[in-house]
C-alpha cells in the first residue's frame, strides 16, 4: 500500500488522497472475501459452499469479489497513506475506486484531518485559587448531611401538611368532568415541595390535614408529554390519609457511635473537619484546572473541523451507553423513559464535547511547541497506575490500551503540567 498523491483542497483541513493497494494485498483480501461468501453460493455440480473460486469468477465475472475486498482494504490503506502524508484523519467524506485488477487497485479519498493550531502566551496565566479554609459552618453542613442520611419519617397528627412533608394521598384527575388515563392512584407518597407533580398540585395539598377530602384545580403545561392533556384545565379529587415528616437525630455521643468509629462528638467533628479539608482541596485543584482550560481555549487559534466535535459527542454517547449497560439498562429503554432520541442526547453533550476537543488541541499544540517527549519509563509508569486503578494485570492493560494512544495522553498531561507549573496561582 502506498500514497500516490496528497492534494490540499480549498476547504480548511480537507485533503484528497490517491492511494494504491498492491496486488499481493488485494489478492489476500479477495481470497478472504471468497472464503466468507462461498458458503452462501450454489453452483451446479458442487456441494453448497464448496465451489472453487475460479469457477465462481468464471460464472459471475473476475470482479465478483472486488467491491467487498476493496472495502476490507480501505481502513488499513487509508491509515498508512495518512501516516505517510503526516496527517491525522478526523473523518472520511468520500471514497472512489479508480481502477482495479490483478496488480492491485487505486482509489481516491476525500478526508478531513486534524487542524494545525496556534497558541501563544500560555505561560504565566493568572489564576485565582478558591479558599480551602475549613469553617465551623462547613463542618456543621457536613454533619447535617449525615443527620439527613440517618433521618426517619414519623407520622404528624397535630398540624396541617407543609413543604418538606410527605403526604400519603389518593387522587383522581378529571378533564371536562371525565376521568383520564393515568390520573388515578391510591396511597401515593408525595414529597411536598419536590416539584414532581404539575405546577400548583403540591402547593394546594399544603395546609390540609389528615383525613380531609378536597378538590384542587390545576392546568397542565403546554409542553406536557401527553398530547391530549397539554394546556388543559383539570380537577383532582384528593383524600389525604397521612402526613409524614422527616425527623433528624440529635447530635450526641450515642449518635456519633452509631454512624462512625468515633466515641465523642468532638472526635467526630475533628474527622469531619479533615473530610471537608480534603474535599475543599480537591475542589480547589479542579477549579484551577477548569480556569486553565478556559484560558487555554480562549488563547487557541485556528479552524476546527465540525467532524471533531461530532466524533467527540458520539464517543460520549457511547460511553454513556456502556454505563447504562453496566447498570442493567439498555439505551432504547432509557430513551423511551426520557422521551428523547440519540440526536437529543448528542446535542446535550455537544457543548462539553467542543470544550474537550479545544482543550486537547490546545495542549497538543503546546506539547509540540515545547518538544514534549514521552519515554518508555513514562508509559510503564502510566500502565502501572492504570493496572492498580482497575485491579488488572499490567500486561492485560497494555493489550487493551495501545501505546500510541497512551503516548498522546501522556504528552497532553505533560503539556498541562507545564502550563500549571508556570501559572501565577494566587
- pLDDT-based confidence at residue 8 (cuts at 50, 70, 90): confident
Alpha-carbon torsion, ordered 141, 143, 147, 148, to 10 deg: 30
DSSP 288-355: HHHHHHHHHHHH-BSPPPHHHHHHHHHHHHHHHHHHHHHTT--HHHHHHHHT--HHHHHHHHHHHHHH
The answer to whether 356 and 312 have CB atoms below 8 angstroms apart is yes
The burial class, CB within 10 Å (0-12 / 13-18 / 19+), for 227 is: exposed
- Dihedral-angle region of residue 172 (phi above 0 means left; psi in -120 to 50 means alpha; beta otherwise): beta
Indicate the pairing of strand 89-101 with strand 104-113: antiparallel
- pLDDT-based confidence at residue 11 (cuts at 50, 70, 90): confident
pLDDT above 70 for 295: yes
Q: What is the pLDDT of residue 364?
A: 96
Q: What is the pLDDT of residue 215?
A: 95
DSSP 8-state secondary structure symbol assigned to residue 1: -
Q: What is the rounded average pLDDT of the residues 185-194?
A: 93
The angle subtended at Cα 252 by Cα 250 and Cα 253, nearest 5°, is 145
pLDDT above 80 for 337: no
Q: What is the pLDDT of residue 419?
A: 97
Q: Please tell me the number of Cα atoms within 13 Å of 245 on its side-chain side.
A: 13
Q: What is the pLDDT of residue 287?
A: 96
Q: Which three cell numbers stand for residue 322?
A: 456502556
Question: End-to-end alpha-carbon separation of the chain, Å?
Answer: 55
The answer to whether 424 and 126 have CB atoms below 8 angstroms apart is yes
The answer to whether 256 and 264 have CB atoms below 8 angstroms apart is yes
Selection from 415, 341, 330 nearest residue 372 by Cα = 415
> What is residue 105's three-state secondary structure?
strand
- pLDDT-based confidence at residue 331 (cuts at 50, 70, 90): confident
> 253-278: per-residue pLDDT in tens?
999 999 999 999 999 999 999 999 99
Q: How far apart are CA 43 and CA 56, in angstroms?
A: 8
**Percent of the chain clearing pLDDT 90 (strictly above):** 76
Q: How far apart are CA 416 and CA 360, in angstroms?
A: 10
Of 127-136, 238-247, 397-406, the one with minimum mean pLDDT is 397-406
Q: What is the pLDDT of residue 211?
A: 95
142 φ, ψ to 5°? Answer: -65, -40
- pLDDT-based confidence at residue 1 (cuts at 50, 70, 90): low
Of 28-42, 102-116, 233-247, 336-350, the one with minimum mean pLDDT is 336-350
pLDDT above 80 for 4: no
Strand partners for 96: 108
> 80-106: per-residue pLDDT in tens?
999 999 999 999 999 999 999 989 999
- pLDDT-based confidence at residue 249 (cuts at 50, 70, 90): very high
Q: What is the rounded average pLDDT of the residues 144-173?
A: 94
For the chain, the farthest-separated pair of C-alpha atoms sits apart, in whole angstroms, at: 94
Q: How far apart are CA 297 and CA 355, in angstroms?
A: 8
pLDDT above 80 for 13: yes
CB atoms within 10 A of CB 183: 16
Q: What is the pLDDT of residue 339?
A: 76
Q: What is the rounded average pLDDT of the residues 107-131?
A: 95
Q: What is the rounded average pLDDT of the residues 232-244?
A: 95
Amino acid at each position: 500500500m502506498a500514497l500516490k498523491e496528497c492534494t490540499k483542497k480549498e476547504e480548511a483541513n480537507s485533503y484528497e488522497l490517491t492511494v494504491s493497494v498492491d496486488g499481493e494485498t488485494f489478492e489476500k483480501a479477495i481470497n478472504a472475501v471468497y472464503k466468507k461468501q462461498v458458503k452462501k453460493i450454489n453452483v451446479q455440480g458442487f456441494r453448497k459452499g464448496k465451489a472453487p473460486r475460479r469457477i465462481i469468477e468464471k460464472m459471475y465475472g473476475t470482479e465478483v469479489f472486488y467491491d467487498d475486498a476493496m472495502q476490507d482494504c480501505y481502513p488499513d490503506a487509508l491509515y498508512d497513506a495518512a501516516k505517510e502524508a503526516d496527517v491525522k484523519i478526523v473523518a472520511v467524506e468520500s471514497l472512489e475506486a479508480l481502477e482495479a485488477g490483478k496488480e492491485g487497485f487505486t482509489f481516491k479519498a476525500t478526508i478531513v484531518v486534524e487542524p494545525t493550531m496556534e497558541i501563544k502566551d500560555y505561560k504565566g496565566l493568572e489564576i485565582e485559587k478558591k479558599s480551602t479554609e475549613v469553617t465551623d459552618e462547613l463542618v456543621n453542613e457536613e454533619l447535617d448531611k449525615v443527620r439527613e442520611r440517618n433521618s426517619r419519617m414519623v407520622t404528624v397528627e397535630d398540624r396541617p401538611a407543609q413543604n418538606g412533608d410527605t403526604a400519603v394521598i389518593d387522587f383522581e384527575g378529571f378533564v371536562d368532568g371525565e376521568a383520564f388515563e393515568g390520573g388515578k392512584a391510591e396511597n401515593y407518597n408525595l414529597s411536598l415541595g419536590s416539584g414532581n407533580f404539575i405546577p400548583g398540585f403540591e402547593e394546594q395539598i399544603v395546609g390540609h390535614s389528615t383525613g380531609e377530602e378536597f378538590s384542587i384545580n390545576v392546568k397542565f403545561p403546554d409542553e406536557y408529554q401527553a398530547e391530549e392533556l397539554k394546556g388543559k384545565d383539570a380537577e383532582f379529587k384528593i383524600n389525604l390519609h397521612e402526613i409524614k415528616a422527616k425527623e433528624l437525630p440529635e447530635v450526641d455521643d450515642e449518635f456519633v457511635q452509631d454512624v462512625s468509629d468515633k466515641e465523642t462528638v468532638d472526635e467526630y467533628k475533628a474527622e469531619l473537619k479533615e473530610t471537608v479539608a480534603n474535599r475543599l482541596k480537591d475542589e480547589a485543584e479542579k477549579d484551577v484546572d477548569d480556569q486553565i482550560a478556559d484560558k487555554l481555549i480562549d488563547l487557541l487559534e485556528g479552524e476546527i473541523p465540525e467532524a471533531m466535535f461530532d466524533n467527540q459527542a458520539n464517543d460520549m454517547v457511547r460511553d454513556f451507553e456502556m454505563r447504562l449497560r453496566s447498570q442493567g439498562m439498555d439505551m432504547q429503554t432509557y430513551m423511551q423513559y426520557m422521551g428523547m432520541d440519540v440526536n437529543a442526547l448528542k446535542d446535550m453533550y455537544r457543548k462539553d464535547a467542543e470544550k474537550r476537543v479545544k482543550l486537547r488541541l490546545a495542549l497538543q499544540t503546546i506539547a509540540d511547541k515545547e518538544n514534549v517527549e514521552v519515554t518508555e519509563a513514562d508509559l510503564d509508569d502510566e500502565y502501572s497506575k492504570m493496572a492498580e486503578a482497575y485491579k488488572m494485570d499490567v500486561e492485560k492493560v497494555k493489550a487493551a490500551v495501545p501505546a500510541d494512544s497512551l503516548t498522546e495522553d501522556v504528552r497532553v498531561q505533560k503539556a498541562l503540567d507545564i502550563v500549571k507549573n508556570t501559572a501565577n496561582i494566587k
